[in-house]
Amino acid sequence: MHPVVLLIGRLPHVIGNVALQLDHLPIEWLGAHDHAEVVRQLESEPRIACVIMGAGLDDDIRGDLIGIIASLRPDVCIHLKDRTSGPDGLVPFVERVVQQELLPQSDRMAMTV
Among 46-60, 69-83, 97-111, name the one with the lowest average pLDDT: 97-111
Q: Is pLDDT of 108 > 50?
A: no
Question: Could you tell me the pTM of the whole model?
Answer: 0.89
User: Can you say how many angstroms the Cα of residue 1 is from the centroid of all Cα atoms in its chain?
Assistant: 18
Please, which pLDDT band fits residue 107 given cuts at 50, 70 and 90? low
**HEC states along 30-87?**
EEECCHHHHHHHHHHCCCEEEEEECCCCCHHHHHHHHHHHHHHCCCCEEEECCCCCCH
Q: Which fold has domain 4-112?
A: Rossmann fold (3.40.50)
pLDDT tens for 6-59 read 999 988 777 889 999 999 999 999 999 999 999 999 999 999 999 999 999 999
Residue 92 confidence (pLDDT) above 60: yes
